[in-house]
Amino acid sequence: MKKMILAAGLLGMSAAPLAAQQGGNRNFEISKNLEIFNDIYKQLDMFYVDSLSADTVIEWGINAMLRRVDPFTVYYPEEGMDELKEMTTGKYAGIGAVIRFYKKDDRVMVIEPIENSPATEAGVKAGDIILSIDGEDMKGKSTQEVSDNLRGDAGTVFELTVKREGVENPLSFKVKRRNIAMPPVPYYGMVADGVGYVCFDRFVDGCSRDVRRAVVDLKEQGAKALVLDLRNNPGGPLSEAVEVTNLFVPRGQKVVYTKGKLASVNSEYYTKKEPLDADIPLVVLVDGATASSAEIVSGAWQDWDRAVIVGERTYGKGLVQMIREVPYHGSLKVTTSRYYIPSGRCIQAYDYRHLNPDGSAGTVPDSLTRAFKTAGGREVRDGGGIKPDVVITPDSLPSIVYDVMASDVLLDYVNHFVRKHPSIAPAGEFSLSDEDYAEFVKMVSESDFTYKRRTEEMMKLLERTARFEGCYDDARPEFEALAQKMAGDVSADLERPKNKEEIKKILEGDIVARYYFQRGAIKQSLKDDKDLEEALKILGDEARYESLLKPVKK
């Protein structure tokens, strides 16, 4: 017994020196590598054939290091602080206009002035091509460069010169910049008898107030059930996620907790207020771009059996960032912990510390995910993101649809349509006629629009493989017959029912945005929305709604 006590004592005595030794080794490794980095830069600065900017080269090194850590840990130098501020507040100082590069003129085009913005008030219209800003020619400038020139301090005035189709001479406008706040709730309204819909597309400071106002207004309009659309919502401040969750969950309920390496970053977040409505039937729409705080909200409601989640599995961003100051007025947005929602699930999907051979981040296969329980006993699983209670598989778009969306000819047609039509039917009721679509097809076929048909590319690959393996000659007639059948014709491809259906939707959305801005485009998009259709079916069937929130009997 004495020998055992002595041995234990010796082990205890050796533990502290061992810990100190390990800490010392780590400090030495850090110092050593910083010294190496410092020396390499000095030698590069001294001996490299060209002169180098210290700010640029060191920032390269910092950014390369952070990219290997995870995509969310980012360094913002002093001149990049506006970007960080815009990310957290949703505000920037500028004119309020969506722009896009127009290849035909090698210039940037205004796609949509934001409603009630300085651009709209000054007379700028969608389709205007930017010629100069305060006399500086913008030809050949990228979208980012033009955007940087349009932005500036609130209250400053500049001259914007544009070319407008149908107007012979350039137009000039005096535009006064001001703070622009992108609305977190760009549209809400009644979508069925007794059912309200809220499009909530971003988390920024104070966004929970906008959601609350929308819900209150809808209830005053007669909403007895709600659809909250979190698709394409990238998330934002954690505090706002708690506030939004609290709108439909009683006070004192856990929303999320965080765990990190340091005890100081470990926190638990609970609802602190009485809910706006703890009983109203609620369906939440999500997709693969629903991330971060949007996943916390949808996941917390799922774990508390408070809402039916509909759509695609969410992105799976379960990493928490903190803003840290760095010397010379910069900031570091650094990942400090992971999110866990009430059931205990971590919503992080990607492992950025153990990359695949191709450099991509790995995910946990479904077979290795773990089971958790909601408050009512339903089984939910981790593995990243929130799996909906009702999964809707999105339709795959034909390749020609993507190519049309990226082309200038789509912009040309929308501009042409708007010039011909001073007004259109209300958003949600507008439809492009077959005659209008035929005019679009004619414009595309007469333009320089080209696209790569994936079937042709696969045919060429199959032919090369057959030649390599020596079996092409025997099958030559079949190859030639299939190639002829698969040969593309732009006009014919645009008229194929599936292609026509999808392209008409895109054209209708872009046209409606010209007359009714973003809110109109969102309302228009709801006409043929599979996720919304399913949500309305669920809310219209009380028994089904209740069954989706109860455990499956085995």
Task: Please give the positions annotated as active site.
Answer: 292, 303, 317
Tokens of 443: 């414009």
Q: CB–CB of 150/141 below 8 Å?
A: no
Q: CB–CB of 191/227 below 8 Å?
A: yes
How would DSSP label each residue in 280-303? S-EEEEE-TT--THHHHHHHHHHH
Q: What CA–CA distances, in Å, run from 425 to 26, 115, 429, 515, 538?
A: 68, 19, 6, 10, 30
Q: CB–CB of 173/115 below 8 Å?
A: no
Q: What CA–CA distances, in Å, run from 426 to 141, 417, 509, 524?
A: 36, 16, 12, 9
Cβ neighbourhood burial of 47 (10 Å; 0-12, 13-18, 19+): exposed
Q: CB–CB of 205/117 below 8 Å?
A: no
Strand, coil or helix: 162: strand
**Nearest alpha carbon to residue 452 among 402, 412, 396:** 402
**Nearest alpha carbon to residue 417 among 441, 439, 442:** 439
CA–CA dist 362, 369 (Å, integer)? 14
Tokens of 145: 């460069």
CA–CA dist 494, 444 (Å, integer)? 9
**Nearest alpha carbon to residue 92 among 168, 157, 167, 181:** 181
CA–CA dist 428, 424 (Å, integer)? 11
Strand, coil or helix: 118: helix
**Nearest alpha carbon to residue 206 among 157, 240, 257:** 240
Torsion (CA) 352, 354, 359, 360 in degrees, nearest 10 = -50
Strands 157-163, 171-176: pairing kind? antiparallel
Other C-beta atoms closer than 10 Å to the C-beta of 363 total 17
How would DSSP label each residue in 25-39? HHHHHHHHHHHHHHH
Cβ neighbourhood burial of 356 (10 Å; 0-12, 13-18, 19+): exposed
CA–CA dist 506, 521 (Å, integer)? 10
DSSP state of 347: -
Determine phi and psi for 66, rounding to 5 degrees: -70, -35
End-to-end alpha carbon distance in the chain: 55
